[in-house]
Amino acid sequence: MCGITGWVDWSKNLSKNKETLKAMTDAIEHRGPDAEGFWLKDHAALGHRRLIVIDPEGGAQPMVYQIGEDHIALTYNGELYNYLELRDELLAKGHDIKTNSDTEVLLHAYLEWDTDCIRHFNGIFAFGIWDERQDRLMLGRDHLGVKPLFFAEREGQIIFGSEIKSLLSHPDVEPEVDTEGLAEVFGLGPMRTPGKAVFKGIQEVRAGHFMTFSENNSSDEKYWMLKSKEHTDDVETTVNTIRELLEDTVKRQLIADKPLVTMLSGGLDSSGLTAMAGKEFREDSKALSTYSIDFVNSEADFEEDFLRRDLDEPWVNRVSEHVGTNHTSIVLDSDKLVDHLLVPMRARDLPGVGEIETSLYLLFTEMKKDATVALSGESADEVFSGYPWFHQEEYLDADIFPWLMNLGNMGGILKDDIQEKLQLKQYQKERYQEALEEIPELEGETGMEAKQRRMSYMFITRFLPFMLDRKDRASMMTGFEVRVPFCDYRLVEYLWNIPYEMKRIDDIEKGILRRAFADYLPEDVRYRKKSAYPSTKDDEYLQRVQRWMLNVLDDPDSPILSLIKEDVVREIAEGRHPGIDGSRAKGLLDYLLQINAWLKEYQIRINL
């Protein structure tokens, strides 16, 4: 995994602009702490920060191929899990591939198939290719959007990078937010609209898309999409297909020249992947290492609720013993969580979900001490329809995204004139309607099944990107790569058309996945009820963020004061608000503290 950046200007010679390119590249040094690279020539400048995972000697970037006097230059972030097959295919076609890196395979795939190369890839990737033969830039992103890629168009220039901070390091990109940007922040929270980056004039290459830019035109092409068709496989065939796809995916994603581990929560998803990976390790006479997260006094503080049924650690130990892993539990306290609250915001360049993101970052920080790569169970709930909302009429019939119904109305804390300008409820409905219009409906499907298909689309295309953003930024902030086998596009395509009732076979969420893991996990682990990502229940955490918020309110220079009703937020921070307390208060204060720091640290100009 790496960080990429660069820009193209058809009206200028950029070969002398290394200082700007280096600033853009330095901004994402954390994504690639092992090496840096630059390529500047005429109208293009490409930068790269490298995290070495495969082929330490042969994968240096930007990678350049020369045809006559023309150069084709690549800066690339990600992994191609089918690169060995592609390498063989390209060699058979006469390509001279000198290294063992997937980077060179990607470059030669472009030389062979031009922009259609992206249709040959199975992996997680974001890349930029400058082709001097056509004076054209190509930007491409993987099927589900695991790897990030942002761009800005400025007066005949295209400026791009893995993270927004890289673009903001270019002198022509200013940190400005307009009405739509603030509506994203307060109306949708961290679950951004695909393609939007909150900052005015900065956009995101959408998942499953590639874009091309030349001097006089540009194009945006969707190369992959979900297609609806009748699922004709019986239950046994479906179970076997899921198992075979996961086995193949895990095997591919274990390829690395650096130490690889897995994340283990004791839940179905991470446990199943750990068991599959552990089997591969044992066959190679190795022991797999696993990591989990816990909190000080978690057992004493635990309270069962709708999202969290029981503690993870007993199940973590059960799975670790069953698979035979070397397990490490990372235990965090409230002080560490609060002290690092703003780090994920700086990683994301946008406010996030607070303590839940902070703990993930701290977990990766510890894992990085022993490894460079990890497998994660992320996205199984989204692609297997594992959330309770899939069978609850209240959410299936809503006119906004279901997760927003649980967050409450952020507009209530905004000043009246800001509320009037942002129109948050209307903004939420419009973004939801846009998503509805994209859905590939199945002809003849009606009633509950049609509603569940719509819900599935929302989670795959609107909620999952947030989860992937969270994991990418939290891990790459520490120079650590996390792979997500459940995001293999072949698996997602297959699952898309499985009826919800079959996914929920045995009257339990993700029942079909539980059956697929039958040969890998004990029955009690397979049928453990879903429990959400853990969160601290320590009262000290809430008290500390309350005090922090009060300090923000008492500082007349706090930029957030121009947006919020101070009296309402003060009530929340003092624990006096009649409707917002406990975990809701904690989440809201986490978010507001991040917004204030974001506005201040990034020196954002608000233009309403």
> pLDDT of 172-226, one tens digit each?
999 999 999 999 999 999 999 999 999 999 999 999 999 999 999 999 999 999 9
Beta strand 289-295 with 481-483: parallel, antiparallel or unpaired?
unpaired
pTM: 0.96
Which two tokens mark 69?
A: 């006097």
Structural domain containing residue 297 = 235-397+459-526
Distance CA 45, CA 13 (A): 10
**Mean pLDDT, residues 42-57 taken together:** 89
Per-residue pLDDT band for 52 (boundaries 50, 70, 90) equals confident
For residues 144 and 51, state if they share a domain: yes
Q: Tell me the two tokens of residue 452.
A: 């569940």
Looking at the DSSP bridge assignments, the partners of residue 137 are 130, 213
Domain harbouring 159, CATH code: 3.60.20.10
Residue 58 has pLDDT above 90, yes or no: no
Distance, in Å, from the CA atom of 15 to the CA atom of 83, rounded to the nearest integer, reads 32
| Token pair of 348 as six digits | 């994301």
Q: Residue 422: its pLDDT value, please?
A: 96
CA dist 42 and 185 (Å) reads 39
CA proximity to 274, closest of 317, 236, 331, 332: 317
The predicted-structure confidence for 328-379, as pLDDT tens digits, reads as follows: 999 999 999 999 999 999 999 999 999 999 999 999 999 999 999 999 999 9
Q: What are the tokens at 383?
A: 């692609």
* pLDDT for position 301: 75
Distance of alpha carbon 596 from alpha carbon 588, whole angstroms: 12
Domain tally for the chain?
A: 3
**Which helix H or strand E contains 607, and what residues bound it?**
strand 605-607
Instruction: Please check the confidence at residue 107 and state whether its pLDDT lies above 70.
Output: yes
Per-residue CA distances from 518 to 190, 204, 374, 484 (Å): 36, 40, 23, 21
**What is the average per-residue pLDDT within 38-58?**
90
Query: In a 10 Å sphere around its CB, with 0-12 CB exposed, 13-18 middle and 19+ buried, how is residue 8 labelled?
Result: buried
Residue 411, in any domain of the structure: no
Q: Tell whether the model's pLDDT for residue 4 goes beyond 90.
A: yes
282-306 b/e (C-beta count within 10 Å ≥ 16 → b): eeeeeebbbbbbbbbebeeeeeeee
pLDDT for 484: 97
Q: Is the pLDDT of residue 607 over 90?
A: yes
Are both 322 and 349 inside the same structural domain?
yes
Residue 415 lies in a domain: no
Distances (CA, A) of 143 to 206, 463, 487, 573: 9, 15, 9, 42
Residue 402: inside a domain, yes or no? no
| Coarse DSSP helix, strand, coil percentages of the chain, rounded to the nearest 5 percent | 45, 20, 35
DSSP bridge pairs for 37: 48
Residues 44 and 154 in one domain: yes
2 annotated active-site: yes
Q: Which of 526, 552, 571 is the last residue of a domain?
A: 526
Q: How confident is the model at residue 1 (pLDDT cuts 50, 70, 90)?
A: low
Q: What is the pLDDT of residue 325?
A: 98
Angle at 369 between CA 365 and CA 373, to 5 degrees: 80
Q: What is the pLDDT of residue 29?
A: 97
CATH number at residue 253: 3.40.50.620
Compute the distance between CA of residue 69 and CA of residue 434 in angstroms, rounded to an integer: 46
Distance of alpha carbon 249 from its chain centroid, rounded?
Answer: 19
Distance from C-alpha of 120 to C-alpha of 561, rounded to nearest angstrom: 50
**Closest listed residue to residue 331, CA positions, set 361, 357, 295, 301:** 295
Same domain, 266 and 129: no
CA–CA dist 109, 120 (Å, integer): 8
Residue 426: inside a domain:
no
Q: What's the count of helices (H) and strands (E) in the chain, helices before strands?
A: 26, 19
- Band of the pLDDT at 391, cuts 50, 70, 90? confident
Report how far residue 5's alpha carbon sits from residue 128's, in angstroms, rounded to the nearest whole number: 8
> What DSSP letter does each residue of 416-434 carry, written as one string?
HHHHHHH-HHHHHHHHHHH
The C-alpha atoms of residue 402 and residue 424 are separated, in whole angstroms, by: 15
Cα separation of 335 and 235, whole Å?
Answer: 49
DSSP symbols for 342-386: THHHHHHTS---THHHHHHHHHHHHHTTT-SEEE--TTHHHHTT-
Task: Say what the pLDDT of residue 448 is.
Answer: 94
Structural element, H or E, at residue 573: helix 566-573
Any domain includes 54 = yes
**Domain co-membership, 355 together with 260:** yes
pLDDT band per the 50, 70, 90 thresholds, residue 302: confident
Write down the mean pLDDT value for the chain: 95
CA-closest candidate to residue 509, choices 390, 405, 406: 390
pLDDT bin (cut points 50, 70, 90) of residue 308 is: confident
Exposed / middle / buried, residue 177 (Cβ in 10 Å: 0-12, 13-18, 19+)? buried
Please say whether the beta carbons of 17 and 5 come within 8 A: no
Task: Establish if 424 belongs to a structural domain.
Answer: no
Residues 252 and 389 in one domain: yes
Residue 306: what pLDDT?
65
Better pLDDT: 508 or 411: 508
Residue 78, by phi and psi: left (phi above 0), alpha (psi -120 to 50) or beta?
left
Query: Of the residues 2, 129, 569, 604, which is catalytic?
Result: 2
Instruction: Write down which residue in 222, 257, 292 finishes a domain.
Output: 222
Give the model's pLDDT for residue 251.
97
Cβ neighbour number for residue 571 with a 10 Å cutoff: 17
Per-residue pLDDT at 408:
65
- 120-177 pLDDT per residue, tens: 999 999 999 999 999 999 999 999 999 999 999 998 999 999 999 999 999 999 999 9
pLDDT at 440 over 90: yes
**At how many degrees (to 10) do helices 582-601 and 566-573 cross?**
130
Torsion over CA: 422, 426, 428, 430 (sign): negative
CA distance 294 to 297: 9
State mean pLDDT over 89-110: 96
Residues 371, 314 within the same domain: yes
**Last-in-domain residue among 526, 550, 565:** 526
Q: Which of 53-57, 62-66, 244-248, 383-387 has the lowest mean pLDDT?
A: 53-57
Mean pLDDT computed over 250-266 = 94
How far are the Cα atoms of 227, 233, 258, 454 from residue 446, in angstroms, in the given order?
17, 20, 49, 11
pLDDT score, position 66: 96
Is residue 167 in some structural domain? yes
User: Average pLDDT in the 547-553 region?
Assistant: 98
Q: What does the pLDDT read at residue 16?
A: 94
Is 152 found in the same domain as 85?
A: yes
Contact (Cβ atoms closer than 8 angstroms) between residue 509 and residue 389: no
Question: What is the chain's alpha carbon radius of gyration, rounded to the nearest angstrom?
Answer: 24
Assign 3-class secondary structure to 508-532.
CCCHHHHHHCCCCCCHHHHCCCCCC
pLDDT digits (tens, 9 = 90+) for 528-538: 988 888 888 88
In a domain, 498, yes or no: yes
Provide the pLDDT confidence category of residue 411 given band limits of 50, 70 and 90.
confident
Q: Are residues 264 and 391 in the same domain?
A: yes
| 3-state SS class at 409 | coil
What is the widest separation between alpha-carbon atoms in the chain?
73
Q: What is the pLDDT of residues 577-593, one digit of tens each?
A: 998 988 899 999 999 99
Average of per-residue pLDDT across 229-255: 97
Q: Is the pLDDT of residue 300 over 80?
A: no
Average pLDDT over residues 496-501: 97
Do 94 and 153 have their domain in common? yes
User: Residues 142, 146, 152, 153: what is their CA dihedral angle, to the nearest 10 degrees?
Assistant: 10
**Whether residues 567 and 498 fall in one domain:** no
41 and 164 in a single domain? The answer is yes
Instruction: Give percent above pLDDT 90 in the chain.
Output: 88
